[in-house]
Each structure stands twice: as C-alpha cells, then as structure tokens.
Chains A and B, each alone.
Chain A
C-alpha cells in the first residue's frame, strides 16, 4: 500500500507538469475566484488549442482522432496536474467530456470528420440539451417533440438548465419522436446547430446571482435526418452513453474546504470554540475520506479495472459540506457575515459566494436524493423505485 506513482506514471506526471508550467500560471485560489470572467472564453479557446496541438487535450482518445491514446490513469494524472494551474477549462468540459464522445460513438464518418477536430482544437463549443422544466431527475419524461417532414425533422419545445448554451455552437438534443410508446422507447438523439433560426437561448437568472445556465426554446427548428445519432427511438440508449461519460469525470474541489475555514478561524480567533473544532474534524474526515476514496478508484484504474458507481458518494459528501462550511463561516463572522462585497467582506467573500452557489451544486448532475437512489439500487442492489409509467405509452399521461 503506497501513494507513489509507478515509474511510468511518474514520467507522465512530470511530462504533463512540465508542459503545464510552460503555458500556465500556478493556481492561486483567491485570484481564480475573484474573476477575470470577461476574457475567460477566449482564454479557454486558446488553451484548448495549445493542449490539442500537443496531444494533451483528450488523453484517452485514440491518436487517429487527435487524442493521445493514453490510459484512464493518465487522464486522471493529467486532471490532477492541470487542476494545480490556472487552467480555463470550464467551457469545454461538457462538450469534450460528454457530447463529442457521444458523436464519436453514434455519429457517421461525416459527423466525425466535421465535428471532432474542431471541438478538440477549441474552435467549436458544445452543449447538452436533455433537461426540461418537467423532466429533471426523470429525464425520459421530456416533451420536446420532433416530427418527421421529408428529409428533416421539425423540433418544437423547451429545454432548461443548459450550461453554456449562450456560447455554444452545437448541441446534442434529446427529443420525443414517438409519444405512443413507453417513455424510454420514444426518444431520439440529434446534433443541433445552436446558431440556426428558431433556436432561442435565454439566460436563467440563478439564485446565486449568476447566469451560467439557460433556457433554450425550439420553434419549428429543422434538423436533417442525417444529423440523427442512433436509430429513431434509440435515444435513451444514446443518452446513457453520454451520462456514463459524465461519471468518469473526476472532479476537483468545488469551493472553500476545511483548510480554508480553518485558516479563517485561526485568523479570527474562532479556533478556541469547541463546537467549531468538532465540526472541523468532521469536515476533514469526510473530505479526506472522499479524497482517499478517489485514490482507491485510481488504484482500480491503474490495475485496468473499471470503477463502479461508488463514486456517487463524492457529490453527496462535498456538496453538503460546502454548504455547511460556508454556513458556519458566515455565522462565525456574526452580523458582518451578511456582507458579500469583495472589498469589504473577510476572506474575499468566498464563503458568501459559495453559500449562494452550494444549493445549485447539490442539484446539478443529480440531486442528493437521486445519487442516494443510485447507491441504493446499483451498489446495494435494492429494488428500483416504483415507476408507474414504465410500460405504458407516454401519451397516456
């Protein structure tokens, strides 16, 4: 049992680190959080291009399509190293992590030729259009419909919570093509040009004050049948491939952690509070538990094994604790804690900012409740929830 890299892993880590040092500044938490949003998109595109040119963009993709032909372990090492730097990677996470792999798996040769390189080199950004106002956790209950008209499909309906739709060029779109069969069987996946007529992207003003997500309205949008991914009615199967890729992403820390609140507590004299010390111990133990669980996952990866759904514990732990840590930090500041002005508030208002962001983190990518269902059903083998609509035509509801 040890934590050191194998010789090969160490060599790859050194290579990755040298490349990163050459192109990026080391991460400084306060600087990252204080913004520089205005040029972020352009910096992200530039960085993506440099990565692709040097075959660091998609480590596990085959070389023929611009990847490195590397192992999942190398991807993990790359992610770890890149997270130490001020790397603008946000806009590409969904496209390259989820959408383009779906295009690669289900698209035609023409699709791959047309889209993969441009996405890889940062020239085009993708978004994923699954959720709807009435279909969140139950995505297969979506209502946006596509009707065949000659060689085209005509799309009408509304998507929601679409990250980055406002700067995306293309999206993968899951719609209902047959309402007269059970819900999972009537779905079809398409590639959609986000800049075409009839696609209306409207930013959502979030509770946190930001607008990273959008509503997207489709009014008589025409998509050629050739831009279909998979057979009509097979959309759910295609979507599962997209969602499986989501799970492979090994995320970093989403905000202030035990170390940051400890720093703050030390500077503000709160370390003498016994109740706070006990909480701090709990946060450390949970964060450490999750970090070390990822080490166990990496060990499985480096032995060529496939990690299971065990990783679902991550967001249950981190999202809750982020909320709790920020709550405690604000209470520690007493009345002053309500101030979110970065020039006035302690610790650059990072706790206040994350306090408002944390509720979203507990929902995005699956609520705590959905993740606990996944653990219960897929890890512990408990019976699935009752699904009264499972075998009935969608139109019956």
Chain B
C-alpha cells in the first residue's frame, strides 16, 4: 500500500508552493481583479512558463518535461491555493490534454511543443448557452475545415491564441483546433463573477479549422462525429486536475478561517474557542479530507489510465466542488463583516470556487455521471 505522492512529488509540491507564495501573491491576483482591462497576470504567467510547468505532463519528444499526470496534479493543487490568475488550466488541462488524447502524431508534434514553451496559449470552447452541455445544444457547425457559430463563455478565450472547439458535423460532433488570430474570429470579453480569470464570447464566421484525428486504439476510432465521446474522456481527465485546484483552494480557505478564528477575539476569548465556530471548521476539515482522498484516487486512475477513471474522476470532482464551495462560503462567515469586504481575500476564493465548480460541468452533471458509471459497473 502506497496511497500517497512520492518523495520527489512532495519535493515538487514544496518547491512549487515556495515559488508561488513569493511570485503569485494576493497583490498579483488583485492586480487582475482591480483592472477591467487586464485578462491575466502576465508577470506571473511568464514565470510559470519559465518553470516549464506547462510541459510537466507533455512527453519529452514533444518538448515537455515528461514527468507525468501525478506531477501535474501536484502543480494544480498549488496553483489552486494561490488562485493563480493565469490561463494554466485552459492551456495545460484542456488544450494540451485534448491534443494528447485526440490528436494525430503530426498534430501533437505541431502544437504540444508550443504549449510547453508558452508560445501558444490554448483553451477549450464548448458551451453555447445555459444548462448542461449535450450534443443537442451544440449549434456551431464545421464542414470541410470551415467553422461557424458562437461559443460562450470560453474561459481564457481572450488570452488564448488557439481554441479546441466542439462543433456539429454530419450527425455527430467533432473537435477542431482553431487559430484565434484569423479574420473569421471575433472575441468579446465578458463580465463574470470571477474577474481574476478571463472569459470571452467567441464568434466564428467561416473560420478555418483543423479537425483533430485521434490515432486508433485506446478505444478511439477516427470516424466522423465522435467528438462527444472524446469530450467525455477529456472532461474526465480535466476533472481530476480541476479537483486538485479546488482542493488547494479549499485547503487555503480552511487555513485562513482557522488562523482568523485563533486571532479574532470576542467576549474575551478567540472566536475559535466557541463550538459553533469549531464545529464549522471541523466540518470544512472533514469535507476537505473526503475531497483529498477522492482526488488522490482520481490522480491514481488518471496516471495509470485505469478503467476506473470515469467514476474516480466524477467522485473527485463532486467531492472537490462541494469542499471548495463549502470552505469558501464558511470562510467568509467565520471572518464576519471583515470577510465581506473587498480588501480581505475571502471573496476571491468564493468566486473561484464557483467558477471551478461549473467550469467543466456542474456538480449535478458529475453526480449523474457518477451514478451512471456505478450502474454500468454493477450491471456487469
């Protein structure tokens, strides 16, 4: 039994934490928050690019560090702790992982090295309106390498240079890589509840697009219309990585709330001496531990391509979404009036918690995926 990260992975975590605590402070996050024109913190982004983290899980033959998914999970948790205001997830979890899963060897060779060295920034464009994503609410179309339609909201859509776009083709859907600097693409920044991460509406008007063509094998066939199947697998993989970001944020919320409860005095003693507060913080702790354990299981499934990945990813995502949401709201509550001020960071976590919870499908969607997976498993 070794249900833990290795010493090397823990070393990476410690180094990443030290680096981010110095290089990605609350002031860096707030610089983006307070400036409507700023999509991300480029100073932080450039340093992360230099660290090579974008290539952590990209094979060396494609210019990455070739470490692995567990290392990417470790980095994700640390980015989540500091609310990194950069397009890391869009480029590394969504764009690069999509290319790795659904791209041909030539397509991997074309884009992965550029993601790894930061010369392109990728994003994933799927949703077009309220409600859970399904084949029936995709209206963007692709035909003969030309794509038209509107995607909204696209996380990091106004920073990215390239997008993977889900589009209808024939009777199904396909995944297309689209360069965002061409004439057929127009973008508008969106006002959202989470201004430290940028979001855009992107309209494609006969934009030229490259269809992703997965190598055969691994259960995938390069037939037309398999985009939704691929997307499920991409989301499973991203769900685990997002769960680590959520876990990092939730852990940080518990620390903030605990520190404050020890410091803040009322009625002659620290508020953390009162059971109402103690039990609230214990509840956060329990949810965080449940999330951590499920995230570890997801990381194991992700790193080994285990058959259990769908239910492990869903459990990780459900647990992490609940933990971060709960921790972020109760962190504000523990801080009292201070927690509701712009100056105290509590609201930044509250914002990020909700973004991450709905970004790759809401908890309701993932609960349903989880139960469906359990049904399939138990039927076999």
A375 within 8 A of B: yes
How many CB-defined contacts (below 8 Å) exist between A and B?
157
Cα(A183)–Cα(B6), bound, Å: 47
For A297-339 the 0/1 string (1 means CB < 8 A from B) is 0111010000000100100110000000000000000000000
Interchain CB contact under 8 A, B278 and A2? no
Stretch at the interface among A192-200, A245-253, A286-294: A286-294
Interchain CB contact under 8 A, B290 and A289? yes
Cα(A230)–Cα(B299), bound, Å: 49
Interchain CB contact under 8 A, A299 and B2? yes
Residues of chain B with a CB closer than 8 A to A277's CB:
367-368, 371
A135 within 8 A of B: no
Interchain CB contact under 8 A, B375 and A369? no
B5, B270, B364: the one within 8 Å of A278 (CB): B364
Cα(A127)–Cα(B269), bound, Å: 40
Interchain CB contact under 8 A, A282 and B273? no
B293 within 8 A of A: yes
Interchain CB contact under 8 A, A292 and B296? yes
Cα(A285)–Cα(B319), bound, Å: 6
- A284-B370, A292-B293, A296-B296 known; A383-B262 Cβ under 8 A: yes
- A271-B375, A376-B281, A379-B285 known; A298-B1 Cβ under 8 A: yes
Interchain CB contact under 8 A, A382 and B273? yes
A385 within 8 A of B: yes
Interface residues of A in 231-285 (CB under 8 A from B): 259, 262-263, 266, 271, 277-278, 280-282, 284-285
User: Interface size (B, Cβ < 8 Å)?
Assistant: 50
- A5-B1, A383-B262 known; A373-B275 Cβ under 8 A: yes
Interchain CB contact under 8 A, A292 and B3? yes
Chain B proximity of A137: nearest CB distance (Å)? 12
Cα(A26)–Cα(B378), bound, Å: 21
A281, A290, A310, A383: the one within 8 Å of B273 (CB): A383
Chain A proximity of B216: nearest CB distance (Å)? 29
Cα(A293)–Cα(B293), bound, Å: 6
- A277-B371, A372-B278 known; A313-B364 Cβ under 8 A: no
User: Interface size (A, Cβ < 8 Å)?
Assistant: 52
In the complex, which residue of chain B has the Cβ closest to the Cβ of A373?
B278
Residues of chain A with a CB closer than 8 A to B5's CB:
1
30 contacts between A and B (CB under 8 A): A1-B2, A1-B4, A1-B299, A2-B3, A3-B1, A9-B1, A259-B378, A263-B378, A278-B368, A281-B314, A281-B368, A284-B371, A285-B294, A285-B370, A288-B297, A291-B293, A292-B293, A292-B294, A293-B290, A293-B292, A293-B293, A295-B1, A295-B293, A313-B286, A371-B282, A372-B278, A375-B282, A376-B279, A382-B261, A383-B273
List 16 other contacts, CB 8 Å, given A296-B293, A313-B285, A376-B272: A2-B300, A3-B3, A5-B1, A277-B368, A284-B374, A285-B322, A288-B315, A289-B290, A290-B293, A293-B290, A295-B3, A298-B1, A372-B282, A373-B275, A380-B258, A382-B261
Q: Which are the 9 A-B pairs with shortest beta-carbon distances?
A: A289-B290, A376-B278, A292-B293, A281-B367, A383-B273, A372-B282, A295-B3, A375-B282, A382-B272
